[in-house]
Amino acid sequence: MTAAPASGASKTPEWLQRRERGNIFWLSVMRHLSLLLGRRLSRCVVYGIALYFLLAAHPARRASRAYLQRVRQQPAGWLDLYRHILAFSTTIHDRIYLLNNRYDLFDIRIHDTEQLHATHASGKGCFLFGAHLGSFEILRSMARDNPDLRLCVAMNPENARQINAALAAINPGVILDVIALGQVDAILTIHERLQDGAMVGILADRASGPDKYIELPFLGAPARFPTGPFRTAAMLRQPVYFMAGLYRGGNRYDVHFELLADFAAPPAGSRQDEVRDLLTKYAAALERHCRAAPFNWFNFYDFWESADRETS
């Protein structure tokens, strides 16, 4: 199946219309409880939280079942749904320890970094296009061995506000360089960070607001991906890597990198062709990692059905 042309600007994505569950007070309580009891004991609470959301969050449960049946190509039972939500809950819980620099609690295995290190050694910045797949916070573990690595994150303004509040609750001493997308100077700020040799992380499987989309085959059915991050990359012409920090159970995380485009050569076609090619590679990489670790994709809304509604 070939990629469909980019559609017109869409309305606000469904995931942005949903009210986030969570509370800064309870996040702070969980932080103190987790650091006091340790990861093993406090995980008992995580099992209970996952069970609560399995029973109470019907839309998320329905979306989880639809996704798992696509990615695993078999019916998804209640245990499968619980494993999916538990994996998500675990990565949120582990964020408390990662943001408090407790990397000693984890078995973190980093793969395929040769090209990324070469890019950094040359003084160039790069994009790290992730997804709501596993843990993005695990990326900070790379700084253990290379403190010169600089990472900033570009995201939706409301998410930027929420993550700053969450960071203050988890560890007030953590300073994360967050660029709010959609602001007038966002592209200029991203350009400045790249010129300074920083890595700019973007979760590119969701739109940060109204966007243009390209339809691509994904897990056996057409899905519409936002083009905003990919248009930015094609315009600023810095290397783009796919990044995934997959939770593998227990205390293990596998961090993968894959070069999608280096933009070293002059464009062979139009800017639109470059965006489509980059997005096609991104969707293929995302699908491979979803199939390799199916319980790690945390888009708890119907990724395919939502796209269909936006075209109607």
pLDDT of residue 311: 40
- Averaged pLDDT for residues 120-131: 91
Residue 8 has pLDDT above 60, yes or no: no
Tens-place pLDDT, residues 256-267? 999 999 987 777
CA neighbor of 238 nearest in space, from 270, 289, 274: 274
Confidence of residue 168 (pLDDT cuts 50, 70, 90): low
How far apart are alpha carbons 65 and 85 in whole angstroms?
Answer: 11
Look up the pTM and report it: 0.85
- Averaged pLDDT for residues 239-255: 95
Higher model confidence: residue 285 or residue 25?
Answer: 285
- Averaged pLDDT for residues 271-300: 94
**Structure-token match 């470059």, residue found:** 274
Q: Which two tokens stand for residue 22?
A: 């969570």
Please report the sign of the dihedral spanned by the C-alpha atoms of residue 209, residue 213, residue 215, residue 219. Answer: negative
Tens-place pLDDT, residues 90-118? 998 998 888 888 899 999 999 998 998 89
pLDDT of residue 25: 60
- Structural domain spans, the chain: 14-311
Residue 124 has pLDDT above 80, yes or no: yes
Tens-place pLDDT, residues 52-97? 999 999 999 999 999 999 999 999 999 999 999 999 999 989 988 8
Q: What angle do CA 70, 74, 79 make, to 5 degrees?
A: 100
Determine which of 82-91, 164-173, 206-215, 280-289 has the lowest per-residue pLDDT on average: 164-173
